Amino acid sequence: MGKCILCKKGTFKTEYHPFTFKINGRTYTIPNIKHEVCSNCGEKLIEEETKKYIDEWIKEKLTS
């Protein structure tokens, strides 16, 4: 990945962080989600492959 789209200064590095979100008032956390994090401003991006994983995780949790 190139320069940060937000600050235009930093570069992105891969880090793993929890991803927390709410659906219907209930909070969910998925541990160890891959993020691309700007070295300058801390902006976090999630790649398309990781977004698909999150979508599948949500479908599984909501249908079980």
DSSP secondary structure code for residue 2 in this structure = -
Domains in the chain: boundaries: 12-63
Distance CA 44, CA 53 (A): 17
Q: Which CATH number fits domain 12-63: 3.10.20.860, 3.50.50.60, 3.40.50.300, 2.40.50.140?
A: 3.10.20.860
How much is the pTM? Answer: 0.78
pLDDT tens track for 5-63: 999 999 999 999 999 999 889 999 999 999 999 999 999 999 999 999 999 999 998 88
How many angstroms separate the first and last alpha carbons of the chain? 36
pLDDT score of 63:
82
**How many degrees, rounded to 5, is the angle at CA 41 between CA 38 and CA 42?**
55
Burial 10-21 (b: 16+ CB within 10 A, else e): bebeeeeeebee
Residue 2 pLDDT level (bands cut at 50, 70, 90): confident
